[in-house]
Amino acid sequence: MRSDLARLFGGIIVGVVLLAIAIAAASLWIDRRERVQHDSDVATGGVGARAIPIMTANGCSGCHTIPGVPGAQGQVGPRLDGSLAGRIYIGGVLANNPENLIRWIRSAREINPHTAMPSTRITEQQARDIAAYLYALR
């Protein structure tokens, strides 16, 4: 009887410890994700949380695969996932930095008339919001 109680008590302790570890890991992941989004928002002057409806309304999902954007499984343009922040160039011609990404999102064909990317003509703030979202995908 005593060993049964000891085993039960030991199992409960192990379960509580595992639960605590899982909660701590989830908390660290959420904190990191929030830090990355905050840093992206600051770097671009945008608010990544506003980007999904903007991208959906402007057809970005028709050409690009974008994590977190419903229906964004396009195959025409490059995948806009965690690799964007690490790329050297945007559209093969612009150095990858927030201001250039914002310019590219708004007026790609003015930069490269032969690109498949349309000039969206969205507002600068909308482009900043999209850039913030995309840079946070790491």
* Closest listed residue to residue 136, CA positions, set 81, 61, 77, 63: 81
Q: How confident is the model at residue 64 (pLDDT cuts 50, 70, 90)?
A: very high
Dihedrals phi, psi of 57, to nearest 5 degrees: -65, -25
Note the pLDDT tens digit of each residue in 94-104. 999 999 999 99
Q: Report the CATH number that the domain containing residue 90 is assigned in CATH.
A: 1.10.760
Position with higher pLDDT, 1 vs 81 = 81
For the chain, how many structural domains are there in total? 1
Mean pLDDT, rounded, for 114-126: 94
- Which residues constitute the domain of residue 119? 2-136
